[in-house]
Amino acid sequence: MLDKTVKELGDALQRKEFSSVELTRAFLDRSKTLNNEVNAFITFDEEQTLAQAKKADKILSTDNATALTGIPIAHKDIWCAKNWITTCGSRMLENFRSPYDAHIIKRFNEYGAVTLGKTNMDEFAMGSSNETSWFGNVKNPWDLNRVPGGSSGGSAAAVSAGMAPASTGTDTGGSIRQPAALCGISGLKPTYGLVSRYGMIAFASSLDQGGPMAKSAEDLAILLEAMVSFDAKDSTSLEKPTVNYSGGINRSMNGLRIGIPKEYFSDQTAPDVQKGVAEALKEYEKMGATLVDISLPTSPLSVAAYYVIAPAEASSNLSRFDGVRYGYRAPKYSDLNDMYAKTRAQGFGAEVKRRILIGTYVLSHGYYDAYYLKAQKVRRLISQDFAHAFKTCDVIMSPTTPSTAFQIGEKASDPVQMYLSDTFTIAANLAGLPAMSIPCGLDQNQLPIGLQLIGNYFDEAQMIAAAHQYQCVTDWHLKKPPLYGV
């Protein structure tokens, strides 16, 4: 049962081939066995998890079950879940137990899904390799000496290693797509505002977006249907008509116009990655799609713009962690200011401090216009580039990452090189567009290669269908890492 997709597990549960308790117990046992090696999970709560599974089994005996009833799902530890410790990968929240459910957690509960555990992540979602977590780095199931990508590395590694059938993640600059690519799974970032951010511990509010991670595009469609919902508690939540994503995955690729951005294919991209993506594009042509050359001329500026805007918003969002109301407090201090300083110095890791300092600097008097305001103007130009491109194409495709998974520690001492890992993913966040990554090959080291799909606003259905049709004629999404057989 551990090999099945979410769709297959849902069908099996409906047929009573096994119970949710049996399924959940199997994933719990596997996760606890492998977690010492992979470090994908921060928190398990067996009592709460099995109680949900028992409740799901009662629902499965009625006519009220959904496609997700009884399915165990791992949640990135950035999502608040009632009575669950929610750390955001930081010492600052090491013992914080959430008093409420995030909107998407509530939605999954309403659909009858089971919370399997909370997954490891880069601290406050700041990182591209899952090496900044207070709880230790996550390891890539394809090679335990390599990173799984970040910041949703724990969620990606859990699915890749067969520790969970699906997981949730968040994507601020590529943090769903990049780890999905490096771990050989499928991951989707929806249009900004489509999935509520209520209950997500904020990093950069204008960029953060939650999304699903799973083995296949079909599974992503099922998960997205549960996650998309208007939420009055989130001022950026959009009220849109309900879309049956899973019902539209079989649309034909005949006539599909695929935009190929010349800026995403350069000598900065590893040859194996370029080859894998080129082979994927050939498959689309065989299915009747047409390749269209496009240009996104401002996209090379996306990394620079992002690392002004995101730290600025982080500086503001993380000011609430001061040791007064909740979270970590320094044990010894002389006065209030000393408590603030010591609490934040001890509670935050190096990468979080770096981004807070950058953000405070660019927002300071005399630098706001020179940096923050200019970065926002570049952001608008990036959005305009995409709008122009979508006049001639239906979906844009490119590599997800410039390379496959790199060695643990390889880029830890060079933040700029680490930031460039997201060079192909950041632009979609700045523009607020939906984007996803699916496996499209293996490199010479037998490491997964990711194909990125970027859709127009609210065109997740087209994007998912394109991914699903590719997975119908290839088997890269079915490949399993060596650790899977343990």
Interval 115-131: pLDDT, tens: 999 999 999 999 999 99
Instruction: Find the mean pLDDT for residues 98-126.
Output: 98
In a domain, 326, yes or no: no
Interval 214-229: pLDDT, tens: 999 999 999 999 999 9
Q: Would you give the end-to-end CA distance of the chain in angstroms?
A: 15
In a domain, 49, yes or no: yes
In a domain, 18, yes or no: yes
In a domain, 285, yes or no: no
Alpha-carbon distance of 208 to 76, in angstroms, equals 13
Strands 257-261 and 290-294 turn out to be parallel
In a domain, 303, yes or no: no
Interval 419-456: pLDDT, tens: 889 999 999 999 999 999 999 999 999 999 999 999 99
Interval 299-334: pLDDT, tens: 999 999 999 999 999 999 999 999 998 899 999 999
Interval 358-402: pLDDT, tens: 999 999 988 999 999 999 999 999 999 999 999 999 999 999 999
Interval 271-310: pLDDT, tens: 999 999 999 999 999 999 999 999 999 999 999 999 999 9
In a domain, 50, yes or no: yes
The pLDDT value recorded for residue 486 is 60
HSE at residue 28, side-chain half, CA atoms within 13 A, is: 20
- Confidence class of residue 93 from pLDDT cuts 50, 70 and 90? very high
Report the CATH number at residue 46.
3.90.1300.10
Considering its fold, how many domains does the chain have in total? 1
Task: Output the pTM of the full model.
Answer: 0.97
Q: Which residues are catalytic?
A: 76, 151, 175
Does residue 151 or residue 417 have the better pLDDT?
151
Which of helix, strand or coil describes residue 264?
helix
Report the share of the chain in percent with pLDDT over 70. 100
Alpha-carbon distance of 235 to 114, in angstroms, equals 28
Q: Are 432 and 309 in contact (CB under 8 A)?
A: no
Domain that holds residue 248: 6-256
In a domain, 350, yes or no: no
Strands (E), 352-406: 395-399
Q: What is the CA radius of gyration of the chain?
A: 21
Instruction: Find the mean pLDDT for residues 339-352.
Output: 97
In a domain, 283, yes or no: no
Average per-residue pLDDT for the chain? 96
Instruction: Find the mean pLDDT for residues 252-264.
Output: 97
